[in-house]
Amino acid sequence: MTISEISPTASTAVKPTSVAALERITFDYGAERVLEDVTLSIEPGDFLGIIGPNGSGKTTLLSVLLGLRRPTQGGVRLFGTDVAAFRESHRIGYVPQKATAFEPRFPASVFEVVISGRVRRAGLGRRFGPADRAATLDALHTVGMQDVRNRLIGELSGGQQQRVFIARALVTHPDLLVLDEPTVGVDIEAQDRFYALLRALSLQGTTLVLVSHDIGVVAREVTRLACLNRRLFFHGEPGEALRSGALDNLYRANSVVVTHDHHHHGRSSRYA
Amino acid sequence: MPEILQYGFMQRALLGGLMIGTIAPVMGVFLVLRRLSLIADALSHVALAGIALGLVAGVYPFAIALLVCVSGAIGIERLRTSGHLQGDAVLAVFLSGGFAVAVVLISVGRGFNVDLFSYLFGAITAVQPSDLWLILGMGLCVLSAIVLLYKELFAITFDEECARLQGIPVDRINLLLTILTSLAVVIAMRITGVLLTSALMVIPAVTAVRLARSFRATLLLAVAASLAAVVSGMVAAYYFDLATGGAIVLFAIVLFAASFLLRRAR
């Protein structure tokens, strides 16, 4: 790790071509500081993993990045535009944490869920047209779920639901795909398919941001790694993070005890 | 023509009933899935306060109820989204508050008990020609708003955060949905009565949610269940001299019970 990487404010000159750029973000929930002076830029083609222990501010960072929350200090730019003025929402796909994403008995078919990603694209007061339906079938095909498009979303397994939500995020052909803890509650086999799908999307040029506490797997898959625990501890190549001991620092920083191995089936916690 | 259709009041009641039977369950599906089933109950009690106010003041009660109910809807939505109170607590305050205002006003003006009774429990003889035009006109407004915003309403109901991210004006559409609910409550009140209005929204909706294989099918099934209940309830009320609202809701409950059996059979 070089000095410039330890001091994130010096390292990341924001380029106009950046897909997303967070500049000196501080975020307070009441008296509690959740994020402190986080500067991070995401470049076209990056497959960025953001890791950190539970409660490290990862999800808050995402909501700031997506414009869902306004930071206490600092600025966010998406595709060169200030987030408050950003209107090209179709360029961003978002896959929420599966567990919190929906009511399990919701009476919606897989097709209806996926096409709902095109609402804004189709326009207010308009019905979905052939282009929307074609894009929906296309996205379902990409994630391998075209055969279950008429099933109820609640009838699918966790891994299948996850892929449906990815399809919903892909249905506007986004340049940036943001995923929040996507593998929680998804079995190992489905996780392998899931990462294969992300690799394929990355190869096609989609910029990916993946938030997880599942360090081992994430470090293996991504091309860039950001280690977050209130502050940004590291931003660079994953191999370097492992060699430099940044991960040890990350988890030791405020003695967070990592006790969520039951999700990982014991395969990912060796760096924690 | 069957005897039941020969009377003007019955024709009006049936026409109004068909309109209400279409709108109420559609609103109900959105409310049930967003865990806002109680909002219709709260709004109908607010509407009752409006009715009482109209009767005391000697102004067309329907119009006052409409005004009071829409203001109540806006108040509920503001308080609910401000985050200071739990959503269901807000509803409880408006429900009992509306009822309290109504009861006080009723005690002030003792002369209108019979009229009030028809608002509480619904009456097929109560739909005047002017009421019918209002019911049909407002009903069409509510229906066209739902049709126009169908995909936005689905996206918000299914996943509000993702809808917001897409740039859908979530807060404005939520407010509009609450206002539409208040309109539906006021129109339904004439036929089912204040106390049973929310039942016509919620029961067919939960019946459909249990059986349907898609969201579109849920809406259609809810409307079908509701129309079946409205028509059988009205016919039964006419021939056996029953309270209309109660008869309609009992038929809706029979259909709901049947959905359990149907689902078990699958």
Q: Which residues of B touch A106 (CB under 8 A)?
A: 33, 158
Q: How many Å lie between the alpha carbon of B223 and the closest alpha carbon of chain A? A: 15
Q: Which residues of B touch A94 (CB under 8 A)?
A: 162, 165
CB-based contact, B171 to chain A, within 8 Å = no
DSSP E strands, B37-191: none
Instruction: Tell me, yes or no, whether B223 lies in a domain.
Output: no
| pLDDT attached to residue A98 | 66
Instruction: Tell me, yes or no, whether B248 lies in a domain.
Output: no
Measured in Å, how far apart are chain B's first and last C-alpha atoms? Answer: 40
CA distance B147 to A20: 37
Instruction: Tell me, yes or no, whether B259 lies in a domain.
Output: no
Q: How many Å lie between the alpha carbon of A111 and the closest alpha carbon of chain B? A: 9
Instruction: Dump pLDDT digits (tens) for A46-97.
Output: 999 998 888 888 889 999 999 989 999 999 999 999 988 898 888 999 998 8
Q: Which residue pairs from A20-23 have beta carbons closer than 8 angstroms and sit at least 24 positions apart in sequence?
A: A20/A65, A20/A76, A20/A77, A20/A78, A20/A79, A20/A176, A20/A209, A21/A76, A21/A77, A22/A61, A22/A64, A22/A65, A22/A74, A22/A75, A22/A76, A23/A74, A23/A75, A23/A76, A23/A77
Instruction: Tell me, yes or no, whether B211 lies in a domain.
Output: no
DSSP helix/strand/coil, B3: helix
Instruction: Dump pLDDT digits (tens) for B147-169.
Output: 999 999 999 999 998 999 999 99
Interface confidence, given as ipTM, is 0.88
Amino acid at B199: A
pLDDT tens for chain B, residues 1 to 266? 678 888 888 888 899 999 999 999 999 999 999 888 889 899 999 999 998 898 888 888 888 999 999 999 999 988 888 877 777 888 999 999 999 998 898 888 776 666 777 788 777 677 888 888 988 999 999 999 999 999 999 999 999 989 999 999 999 999 999 999 999 998 888 778 887 888 999 999 999 999 999 999 999 999 999 999 999 999 998 899 888 888 999 999 999 999 988 888 77
DSSP helix/strand/coil, A43: coil
Instruction: Tell me, yes or no, whether B222 lies in a domain.
Output: no
| pLDDT attached to residue A217 | 79
Residue A43: Cβ-neighbour burial (10 angstroms; 0-12, 13-18, 19+): middle
Place of tokens 């609202």: B245
Q: For residue A264, what pLDDT band results from cuts at 50, 70 and 90?
A: very low
Instruction: Tell me, yes or no, whether B138 lies in a domain.
Output: yes
Q: Which residues of A touch B208 (CB under 8 A)?
A: 107
CA distance B157 to A26: 32
CATH number for the domain that contains residue B187: 1.10.3470.10
Instruction: Tell me, yes or no, whether B266 lies in a domain.
Output: no
| pLDDT attached to residue A7 | 43
CA distance A237 to A158: 31
B192 and B244 Cβ atoms separated by less than 8 Å: yes
Counted domains in chain B: 1
Instruction: Tell me, yes or no, whether B256 lies in a domain.
Output: no
CB contact under 8 A, B213 and A107: yes
CB-based contact, B148 to chain A, within 8 Å = yes
Instruction: Give the tokens for residue A240.
Output: 């370097």
Query: Which residues lie across from B189 on neighbouring strands?
Result: none
CB-based contact, A105 to chain B, within 8 Å = yes
Q: Note which residues in 44-73 of chain A have CB less than 8 A from chain B.
A: 66-68
- Give the mean pLDDT of chain A: 82
Q: Which domain holds residue B68?
A: 3-197
